[in-house]
């Protein structure tokens, strides 16, 4: 498997993402935002960071970078694509995932460990995760509050497109465990085709024993379980 990690001016989690993929035994390369060649990658990841300084709205400018035309085509043809944090924001701005990501209800940038739980095993990103386990991973965002209209939320639920919920350490999905005010405590979703994924927490930042936390590695492992 060959993974491509797309780098925009302001991306800062590209090295973390490449490192985790390589630790799982797969090739990972960086693709610059001005590139127009996806170099035969089988799976694309838009990493976290502050693309274009988060001007206008997070991800709004990056969505129009030259490479995104090819990323959109890749996804619409069924290619696997994941956005993490700022990457999730980019994919929403590109209309590859439904809804929007608004400013946190605290109106503050939040950087801390939180807990999330998988909502389904019916997706590549969550295929073998324990649905009863609370995974500890960090968040680092100012615009992470997932919002959608009632029809979109109903569609996400009906189509089993909600991948992750914010929860407490015991795995309970509660208002108190919601760090940013996301509707329904949503932390991650997929598209109807189940090939495009987005999540606000950073599993790639919780994937090294030296950090005393490998919960994120369990999430990243899902990407390569069946993709051989």
Q: Among 118, 112, 121, which Cα is nearest to 144's?
A: 112
How many Cβ atoms sit within 10 Å of the Cβ of residue 130? 13
Of 93, 143, 204, 218, the catalytic one is: 204
CB 125 within 8 A of CB 223: yes
Of 41, 143, 190, 202, the catalytic one is: 202
Sign of CA dihedral 61, 84, 213, 107: positive
CB 29 within 8 A of CB 4: yes
**Is 202 designated active site?**
yes
Distances (CA, A) of 145 to 20, 22, 104, 206: 26, 31, 5, 21
Of 13, 85, 167, 190, the catalytic one is: 85
Pairing state between β 43-46 and 80-84? parallel
**Is 26 designated active site?**
no
Instruction: For residue 189, count CB atoms less than 10 angstroms from its CB and return exposed for 0-12, middle for 13-18, buried for 19 or more.
Output: buried
Helix (H, G, I), strand (E, B), or coil: what is residue 61? coil
**Is 128 designated active site?**
no
Distances (CA, A) of 225 to 43, 135, 164, 200: 13, 19, 19, 22
What does the block give as tokens for 226?
Answer: 């069946």
- Residues recognised as catalytic: 85, 202, 204
């Amino acid at each position: 498997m060959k993974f491509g990690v797309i780098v925009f001016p302001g991306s800062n989690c590209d090295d973390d993402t490449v490192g985790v993929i390589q630790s799982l035994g797969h090739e990972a390369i960086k693709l610059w935002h001005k590139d127009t060649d996806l170099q035969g990658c089988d799976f694309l990841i838009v990493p976290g960071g502050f693309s274009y300084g988060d001007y206008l709205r997070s991800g709004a400018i990056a969505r129009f970078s030259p490479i995104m035309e090819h990323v959109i085509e890749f996804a619409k043809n069924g290619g696997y694509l994941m956005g993490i944090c700022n990457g999730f924001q980019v994919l929403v701005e590109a209309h590859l995932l439904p809804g929007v990501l608004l400013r946190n209800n605290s109106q503050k940038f939040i950087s801390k460990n939180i807990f999330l739980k998988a909502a389904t095993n019916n997706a590549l990103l969550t295929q073998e995760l324990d649905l009863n386990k609370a995974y500890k991973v960090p968040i680092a965002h100012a615009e992470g509050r997932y919002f959608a209209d009632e029809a979109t939320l109903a569609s996400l639920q009906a189509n089993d497109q909600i991948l992750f919920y914010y929860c407490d350490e015991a795995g309970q999905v509660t208002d108190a465990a919601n760090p940013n005010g996301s509707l329904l405590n949503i932390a991650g979703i997929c598209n109807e085709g189940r090939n495009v994924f987005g999540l606000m927490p950073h599993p790639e930042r919780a994937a090294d024993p030296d950090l005393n936390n490998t919960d994120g590695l369990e999430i990243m492992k899902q990407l390569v379980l069946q993709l051989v």
